[in-house]
């Protein structure tokens, strides 16, 4: 088993639990734990530790079929950072034998989108919210010739802004963008009072999930509201408030 994870300072890590087990006599525990954790970076270098680069979420993505190195053991995943950037990482994790499975994989950052929640240059000064989640249908699907992998990744901010990325073509950037709490095509995200008085807060969304067919997204909010959007059109398909 291997686990890809990240921390609030922006470091991505690969963890192999089998290497982190204590010996029978309980000695050398810390040494074994250290052996089971390795940091991921470009060409063996460690990234700058910065909370603005903290890892918010990770999601598996589709492998680039044009890459000649793609084969058994290859994998691809995306990382959403606290500054709104999304990175695509590609690599290889050995798995043929028991010995292979405790060997570290090799991963390299291949593509980056600087801020997935900006609409355009004029949108830089507006508040887009804090990144809260990213998801793809890869966590559900069993791939076959009749059921090819879906290449869609969706990211959500705390204001309910949803950005859709085609992981097969990062050069396109954002292929669709919607505001889950907007009341019209150009409306600002809904606002709620969080204290008595004149204060307003637009950070409503707290979580997001994608359907197994990558056709629908559900966003959950602080006031126990859930909103379902159609991925292709952004249409609000269903909404419920104060559900239990």
Q: Would residue 119 count as lying in a domain?
A: no
Q: Domain count of the chain?
A: 2
Domain boundary among 90, 114, 138: 114
Biggest CA–CA distance in the chain, Å, is 65
Is residue 151 located within the same domain as residue 243?
yes
The pLDDT value given to residue 43? 47
The segments of the chain whose pLDDT lies below 70 read 20-35, 42-48, 64-73, 95-101, 121-125, 141-145, 148-149, 183-200, 242-244
Residue 211 is part of a domain; what is its CATH number?
A: 2.40.10.480
Domain boundary among 114, 139, 158: 114
Q: Would residue 123 count as lying in a domain?
A: no
Q: Would residue 26 count as lying in a domain?
A: yes
Identify the domain containing residue 11 by its residue range.
Answer: 1-114
Q: Would residue 187 count as lying in a domain?
A: yes
Is residue 87 located within the same domain as residue 26?
yes
Q: Would residue 122 count as lying in a domain?
A: no
Helix ranges (H only) for 27-173 are 29-35
The pLDDT value given to residue 87? 95
pLDDT, one tens digit per residue, over 5-64 is: 999 999 999 888 777 666 655 555 545 556 678 888 754 455 567 889 999 999 998 876
Is residue 201 located within the same domain as residue 162?
yes
Q: Would residue 125 count as lying in a domain?
A: no
The pLDDT value given to residue 68? 55
Is residue 89 located within the same domain as residue 194?
no
Instruction: Name the nearest CA neighbour of 142 among 131, 134, 150, 133.
Output: 150
Q: Would residue 58 count as lying in a domain?
A: yes
The pLDDT value given to residue 58? 96
Is residue 244 located within the same domain as residue 134?
yes
Q: In this structure, are residues 36 and 102 in contact, taking their beta carbons and an 8 Å threshold?
A: no
Task: Indicate the pTM of the whole model.
Answer: 0.82
Is residue 77 located within the same domain as residue 151?
no
Give the count of beta carbons closer than 10 Å to the beta carbon of residue 25: 6
Q: Tokens for 219? A: 């966003």
Show the 3-state SS of 168-218: CCHHHCEEEEEECCCCCCCCCCCCECCCCCCCCECCCEEEEEECCCCCEEE
Q: Is 214 left (phi over 0), alpha (psi -120 to 50) or beta?
A: left
Give the count of beta carbons closer than 10 Å to the beta carbon of residue 66: 7
First-to-last alpha carbon distance for the chain, in angstroms, is 36
Q: Would residue 191 count as lying in a domain?
A: yes
Is residue 178 located within the same domain as residue 231?
yes
Is residue 74 located within the same domain as residue 181?
no
Is residue 100 located within the same domain as residue 1?
yes
The pLDDT value given to residue 81? 96
The pLDDT value given to residue 29? 53
Is residue 30 located within the same domain as residue 96?
yes
């Amino acid at each position: 088993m291997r686990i890809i994870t990240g921390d609030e300072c922006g470091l991505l890590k690969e963890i192999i639990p089998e290497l982190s087990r204590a010996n029978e006599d309980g000695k050398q525990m810390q040494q074994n734990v250290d052996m089971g954790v390795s940091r991921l970076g470009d060409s063996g270098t460690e990234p700058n530790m910065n909370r603005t680069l903290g890892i918010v979420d990770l999601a598996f993505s589709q492998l680039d079929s044009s890459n000649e190195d793609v084969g058994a053991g290859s994998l691809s995943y995306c990382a959403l950072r606290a500054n709104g950037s999304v990175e695509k990482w590609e690599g290889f994790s050995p798995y043929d034998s028991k010995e292979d499975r405790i060997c570290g994989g090799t991963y390299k950052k291949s593509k980056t989108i600087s801020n997935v929640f900006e609409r355009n240059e004029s949108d830089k000064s507006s508040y887009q919210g804090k990144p809260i989640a990213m998801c793809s249908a890869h966590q559900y699907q069993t791939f076959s010739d009749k059921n090819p992998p879906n290449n869609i990744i969706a990211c959500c901010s705390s204001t309910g802004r949803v950005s859709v990325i085609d992981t097969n073509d990062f050069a396109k950037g954002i292929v669709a963008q919607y505001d889950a709490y907007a009341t019209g095509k150009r409306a600002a995200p809904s606002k709620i009072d969080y204290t008595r008085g004149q204060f307003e807060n637009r950070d409503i969304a707290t979580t997001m999930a994608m359907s197994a067919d990558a056709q629908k997204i559900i966003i959950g909010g602080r006031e126990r509201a859930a909103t379902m959007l159609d991925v292709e059109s952004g249409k609000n398909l269903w909404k419920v408030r104060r559900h239990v």
